Amino acid sequence: MDHKSVRAISENPTYQHLVKTRSRYAWTLTAILMVVFYGYIYLVAFHREIMAQRIGEGVMTLSIPLGIGVIVFTVLITGVYVRKANADFDKWTREVKESIK
């Protein structure tokens, strides 16, 4: 890619909007994921009595469904990002590509 094309892309308002929006969106989802993940780790490390509570009459404790919940949340938040990327980010990327042709 030549210098002229790089400059045209970097000065394109759609590209600038794409970069700004994608970055803000990714950092927001990352922050949410970190809160959930480290919240779980915090509970395991500092509130064992909560995590060790048995559920029902069996041997399962509260930590197991919460841990599975963290994993499911990770998959869901990844799906949220992919949906946004497919709906908006890809469209804006195509617009930027078309503008420099």
The residue ranges of every structural domain in the chain are 3-100
The residue type of 99 is S
Task: Report the predicted TM-score, pTM, of the whole model to 2 decimal places.
Answer: 0.82
Taking the C-alpha atoms of 35, 38, 40 and 43 in order, what is their torsion angle to the nearest 10 degrees? -110
Identify any residues that bridge with 61 across adjacent strands, giving them in sequence order.
Answer: 54
Which residues of the chain are under the pLDDT cut of 50? Answer: none
Strand-pair partners of 54: 61
- Burial (Cβ within 10 Å: 0-12, 13-18, ≥19) of residue 7: exposed
Nearest C-alpha neighbor of 19 from the set 86, 98, 96: 96
* pLDDT of amino acid 3: 85
Phi-psi group of 56: left, alpha or beta (phi > 0 → left; psi -120 to 50 → alpha; rest → beta): left
* pLDDT computed for residue 64 by the predictor: 96
